[in-house]
Amino acid sequence: MKVWRETIYMPMSKQIIHACMIELEQHRETGNVELFNVQATLRSLTDMCTDRKNSEQHQLYIDEFETPWIKNTDDHYKALGLRLLEGEDRSAYLVRVTEILEQEEQRLRSAVPTISHEKILAVCHRCLISNHQAQLETQFQVSLERDNRKDLSACYKLLLRADCLDGITNLFQARMTAVGMQDVQALGCSAATPPNPTDFIARVVDLHAKGRELTNDCFQSSSKFSESLDRSCATIVNTSLPKRLSPAELLARGCDLALRKTKGAVEEELDSRLEDIMLIFSFLQDKDVFLKFFTKAFAKRLIHGTSVSEAMEANMIGRLKAECGFEYTLKLQRMHQDVQVSTDFLRNFRQSNMGRTLPFSFEALILRTNAWPFGSNPPAILLPPPLSDAIYKFEQFYTHAHSGRKLNWLYHVSTGDIKAKLPKGVYELSATTFQMCTLLAFNTQESFSSKDIQNRLGMSKKDADRVLQSLITCRLLIGPETNDKAADLADDEPLTLNLRFKNKKRKLKISTPLTKETQSETAQTHKAVDEDRRMVLEAIIVRIMKTRKALKYNELVQVWTLAPSDMLHSSNKSTLMTS
């Protein structure tokens, strides 16, 4: 091979290589030239060097053909790229460049040794794609705004060849974020008028579905675009609402609406709604805030029996557990267990001698203090004899079964049904315990003052005014007419049972007027979350110092900011550290 190379090839090398390049150039222009001779010639450049070391076997081919052909390719496509941009619109450029690159790949497979394919294609991509990346990204943005999926797909495929996707993924993320922000703001929400949780969830879910469809159709289900879509949705969920509105609280309210008992609820639809809620939840930063509000709503559903079904509640808890881990849902599972244990214990009480002697139906839930979101100082009330007797008997039965335990009654969250025999008819009233005890007081006389009710039932003036206003509003009591349902009543204000009360319905629920306490409770919940975060962060500091023994302040801050759990948002770290 050495003799062949030195005596036959080398004297004619320039003419041979020039002839090969001429045929390759003609093939670029017309596509009608046969490349069999070029293929055989280029292969022979490697074959005639088999007497050399492996590392030098391709050196002749590289020096004689590859290097000058790469230079030729660079010059050719630089000029062609500029000419195409000047003479054609951007959409036509996408189509034409795609065709050119496919032809170049076919030409390389037909004539050029494999070792040169990657190098030559890199030159093509640089000249036709990377050098014109700004123009291609502009076309991508225009196509995105016009929803031109054909151009979006073509643009993505070209930039993917040159590994230049960062620019268009950022454009995609910015576009989806802008559209999502506009959709949420179109709900017309403000700090005073929060949006309907169902509408908010639907807008974000719809945007995510459209983004996912676009990613699958135009971007080959690219993980980069999927991540951009997720970041976009996270921005919308966490920042699109006014500052005083908490997206975590809004999502918890939406979850409560989905899990409440409603007419015509279909399990498949509920399951789909829970999937939508969990999608939004996955983007939520303040998952600990969500848990606080969800726990309070969950407690109310369990106590008042308003859950759509026990299976759906367990379904939701399972989803949260899968997303955030066992510790996140531990209290929720304990609450669920408490209700099941209480059902069995109440059955035993009803079958006992104490339970059978009660003149009315009695139900009680035994709840663990550390699992349920109720305050340690519930409002007090003195129960009338029929109710107090039932409480005494239940406590005796419980103490006999569980010695050493004490029951604290939460009358402010309990309810009852009573019958009111009035001249205009008999009505079955569903009321809170405070409302029920107030109405039972009128069995002895028809009129009381506000102060009399406070003294008789041991209620605070604030609680008494709220209860009495609710009974005046539904016209069971006759008292001062006022448009302000939260107004204070004078202590000597006479309140009389309305013996002329009449209603078409025989079963009535006495509503409790909403007060400013709702905002106070919300603020207290956020305050409790901040306190929980502080405790977690302090525990992390203790763990770090136990491990490191000694650290400078700045070093401690640096280590500490990397340590907190995923539930904590970075903005809270700096706030707590400087407080």
Q: Do domains 2-128 and 166-330 have the same CATH topology?
A: yes
Predicted pLDDT at 573: 41
Query: Hey, what amino acid is at 509?
Result: K
- Asked if CATH classification 3.30.230.130 holds for the domain at 414-515, the reply, yes or no, is yes
Answer for the pair 373, 295: CB distance below 8 angstroms, yes or no: yes
SS3 of the chain: helix, strand, coil, percent, to 5:
70, 5, 25
**Fold observed for domain 166-330:** 5 helical Cullin repeat like (1.20.1310)
Buried/exposed code over 225-250 (b: 16+ C-beta within 10 A; e: otherwise): bbebbbbbbbbbbbebbeeebbbbbb
User: Confidence class of residue 572 from pLDDT cuts 50, 70 and 90?
Assistant: very low
Q: What is the pLDDT of residues 497-543, one digit of tens each?
A: 989 898 888 898 888 765 444 666 677 777 777 777 787 777 878 88
Query: Which ranges constitute the DSSP H helices of 240-309?
Result: 247-259, 267-283, 287-304
- Asked if CATH classification 1.20.1310.10 holds for the domain at 2-128, the reply, yes or no, is yes
Q: What is the pLDDT of residues 443-469, one digit of tens each?
A: 888 899 889 999 999 888 888 888 998
Instruction: Kindly give, in sequence order, each residue whose CB lies less than 8 Å from that of residue 335, ignoring residues fewer than 6 positions away.
Output: 295, 298, 299, 302, 367, 371, 372
Angle formed at CA 29 by CA 27 and CA 35, multiple of 5 degrees? 0
Other Cβ atoms less than 10 A from the Cβ of 355: the count is 17
The domain limits of the chain are: 2-128, 166-330, 339-411, 414-515, 518-578
pLDDT-wise least confident of 31-40, 108-117, 552-561? 552-561
User: Confidence class of residue 191 from pLDDT cuts 50, 70 and 90?
Assistant: low
For residues 5 and 349, which has the higher predicted lDDT (pLDDT)?
349
Tokens representing 292?
């606080």
d(CA 321, CA 505): 44
User: Confidence class of residue 62 from pLDDT cuts 50, 70 and 90?
Assistant: confident
DSSP 239: H
Give the DSSP letter string of 504-553.
Answer: S-SEEE------THHHHHHHHHHHHHHHHHHHHHHHHHHHHHHHHS---H
Q: What is the pLDDT of residues 152-168, one digit of tens each?
A: 999 999 999 999 999 99
State yes or no: pLDDT of 45 exceeds 90.
no
Angle formed at CA 441 by CA 438 and CA 445, multiple of 5 degrees? 135
Residue whose token pair is 């107090």:
388
Q: How far is CA 258 from the centre of its chain?
A: 16
Predicted pLDDT at 565: 47
Instruction: Kindly give, in sequence order, each residue whose CB lies less than 8 Å from that of residue 176, ignoring residues fewer than 6 positions away.
Output: 207, 211, 228, 229, 232, 233
Q: Write the CATH number of the domain with boundaries 339-411.
A: 3.30.230.130
d(CA 377, CA 380): 9
φ, ψ (nearest 5 deg) of residue 191: -60, -30
Predicted pLDDT at 4: 55
Answer for the pair 466, 488: CB distance below 8 angstroms, yes or no: no
- Which helix H or strand E contains 422, and what residues bound it? strand 415-422
Answer for the pair 321, 329: CB distance below 8 angstroms, yes or no: yes
Q: What is the pLDDT of residues 328-387, one digit of tens each?
A: 999 999 998 998 899 899 999 989 888 888 888 888 889 888 888 887 678 888 998 888
- Give the pTM: 0.79
State yes or no: pLDDT of 577 exceeds 50.
no
Q: How far is CA 32 from the centre of its chain?
A: 58
